[in-house]
Amino acid sequence: MGMSSEKMKIILIGAGNLATRLALALQAKGLAPEWVYSRTEESSRRLSEQLPHSHYTTRLDSLPTDGDLYIFAVKDSVLPQLLSAMPANAGLWVHTAGSVDREVFRPYTNRYGVFYPMQTFSKERAVDFDDIPFFIEANSEADTARLHDLAARLSGKVYRADSEQRKYLHLAAVFACNFTNHLYALCDRILQEHNLPFEAMLPLIRETAAKVADMSPFDAQTGPAIRYDQNIIAKQEALLTDPTMREIYTLLSRSIHETHNPDKPKES
């Protein structure tokens, strides 16, 4: 791949949430994937229809072998079987996963790397790629530079991170995004059960998220658990009839208190 990202021939393997948003972001920069592969014809066709001049297929052996960049934007569990069925080529193969080691490619190709945009994606919801951090690596300095160049076309935030660092990045993202969203879902359940609107929580959610852009999450923490206000905590635990929700409440309250009072034994 001696050419710059200006003329890169991109082949996209996958047509899910991340693949869709990434393909559209690439298209906006004049870098639309020329081929889209998905195991299901409906998914590959639907994405291809949004990319003028692109082709789609459900057969890996139909993909061209003269591509510059092969982007595997698929579920972690599917990646190994796809790699083993890929036609050999001299292109650069990358995946977009947070927790998959770069070396997953080693048995199948000589040039490989990672092109990981750290964000939560939905097919239906557009995202501003300029603000999405990209974490990249490759098994050669030349290809790392090429991926950096491509990521910089999409985003103002591009970082190099090896596979070990990326494991912890993905773990941290699960806490920041997936666990937080689940707490929103539990919040919604409580509100629905008592005929209260979830939209009433949105200003609180927005302000909580905005605060950590200006101060550390540690300093932004408020609520009864910091001082371990047993009166309030006991009353709120009693309101939770679901044992799992009560356990989550107790565990998080204890964690908050111990984080903010590391030298003080928790009152029993």
Tell me the sheet residues that pair with 57. Answer: 37
Residue-level pLDDT at 217: 96
Q: Give the side-chain half-sphere CA count within 13 A for 24.
A: 19
Model pTM?
0.82
pLDDT category at 263 given cuts 50, 70, 90 is confident
Average pLDDT over residues 187-192: 98
Q: Is there a single domain that holds both residue 21 and residue 138?
A: yes
Alpha-carbon distance 150 to 127, whole Å? 18
Q: Which residue would you say has higher pLDDT here, 227 or 200?
A: 200
Residue 188 tokens read as: 């919604």
Res 95 pLDDT > 80: yes
Residue-level pLDDT at 265: 63
Backbone φ and ψ for 87, nearest 5 degrees, come out as -65, 140
* 244 within domain boundaries: yes
Q: Is there a single domain that holds both residue 144 and residue 107?
A: yes
Tell me the sheet residues that pair with 94. Answer: 71, 113
Element (H, E) at 237: helix 230-239
The enclosing domain of 28 has a CATH number of 3.40.50.720
Residue-level pLDDT at 233: 95
**Domain final residue pick, 102, 127, 161:** 161
In the three-class reduction of DSSP (H, G, I as helix; E, B as strand; rest coil), residue 48 is classed as helix
Backbone φ and ψ for 226, nearest 5 degrees, come out as -60, -50
* 106 within domain boundaries: yes
* 169 within domain boundaries: no
Mean pLDDT of the chain: 93
Residue 63 in contact with residue 35, Cβ under 8 Å?
Answer: yes
Which has the closest alpha carbon to 113: 86, 82, 84, 148? 148
Q: Which residue would you say has higher pLDDT here, 98 or 263?
A: 98
Residue-level pLDDT at 46: 94
DSSP of 53-89: T-EEES-GGGS-S--SEEEE-S-TTTHHHHHHHSPP-
The enclosing domain of 234 has a CATH number of 1.10.1040.20
Q: Is there a single domain that holds both residue 125 and residue 249?
A: no
Q: Is there a single domain that holds both residue 243 and residue 128?
A: no
pLDDT digits (tens, 9 = 90+) for 104-127: 999 999 999 999 999 988 877 888
Alpha-carbon distance 145 to 143, whole Å? 5
Q: Is there a single domain that holds both residue 47 and residue 115?
A: yes
